[in-house]
Structure 1
Amino acid sequence: MIRGEYDNPGEVVEPGFLSCITGNQDPARIRLDPFKRWPTRSRRMALAKWIASADNPMTARVMVNRLWHWHFGRGIVETPSDFGRLSGGPSHRELLDWLAVEFVRNKWSLKAMHRLMVTSSTYRQSSGKDDVRAREVDPGNRLLWRFNRRRLEAEAVRDAVLSVSGRLSGEMFGLPVFPPLPGGMEERVKYSKSKWATDLDERARKRS
């Protein structure tokens, strides 16, 4: 519709992808259901296949960069939500490309990618390493010559305390657990509609 006027139709526009995303290449065409039985579903499926295609240069790289950011505290591209011209680019371009290829080769398995990263020699480096020359050349550790210090999440702090004291339970799965609450909070819970039956046995010391 020209100018949004329903009685002033213009040229028919077929479904396609934004040219600003596909770059200088011809926008990929959406292969719709030839029988037009489910046009909406067909378009969504075509979009999903394009996003998850092995030929799509962005999806796998964005995903592995987010996983890297989670494990290392900083992505190969420091702005995981912005891969555009203002992102600054990757610090290790070949590494990002290789991880993306491995991600697709392993059928987009997040578990396999997590394992690959946490078993790498880079991840297993000490954060206490002190190399005077490296500190002069790369004070921000952009080249990953040591592991960056990171704050532990609340769940990891709890598990670490229980582990050091020898009281951490390795039991997995099972029913929900109601651990003891801090002073003052338990009183408030008592007067609410929720029932907090505190577990004081080994179940309360299960891993977070």
Structure 2
Amino acid sequence: MITVIIGGSGSGKSVIIKHIMGLFKADRGEVRVFGTDITPLGRNEMIPIRMRFGMLFQHAALLDSLNIFENIAFPLRERTKLSRKEIKERVEEICERVAITEMMYRSTGEISEGQKKRVGLARAIITKPEVLIYDEPTTGQDPIRTRQVDDMIVEAQEMFKITTIVISHDMASTFRVAHRIAMLNEGKILAYGTPNDLMSSADPQVHHFIFAGSGEE
């Protein structure tokens, strides 16, 4: 399933993700991840939980000092005890599945922004996470690249059968990829449901956010 979290600037989209991954500590209440309340857990206790997540950052966040292969292999070398042979085999498999095999040994400066997104995806899923998170994946993209990113998100979810969370303020992108949408407002979930549920919402705040600027209000 693909769940998209939407909301205006300062609504709490990034904060909720940081709480889920244990990067922020809740002031009160519980944060349950995979059935476990992570609020009392320390840094070392959070490592195995974070290993169950993959994250694709807004600008891919690739390491310029490493080539594509090394960027993708990096999480395996840092977090696992796999042999060099096993790492090579897994990287080659992932590269083939996300269609970047031919650029595996190029530098990050030799590939396009769209290709960097695919490399970032390969790195995010190389550890076989249970949940994949995209942070504003279409920000700064033109309409053609936005559509390509949307297609990549849908293809990855279908190919790897992975629970997917997308942080976005792009309504066109949201309605192309989402199975469920959660709308945040001032740190609280104002609405949650299918795209059709939110499209037909009688809540004026939900209606305004979805249709603002579209000329359909």
- Which category describes the TM-score, using the shorter chain as reference length? under 0.3
**TM-score under structure 1 length normalisation:** 0.25
Structure (1/2) with the larger strand percentage: 2
Q: RCO greater where, 1 or 2, for CA within 8 Å and sep 6 or more?
A: 2
**TM-score under structure 2 length normalisation:** 0.25
Larger Rg: 1
Structure (1/2) with the larger helix percentage: 2
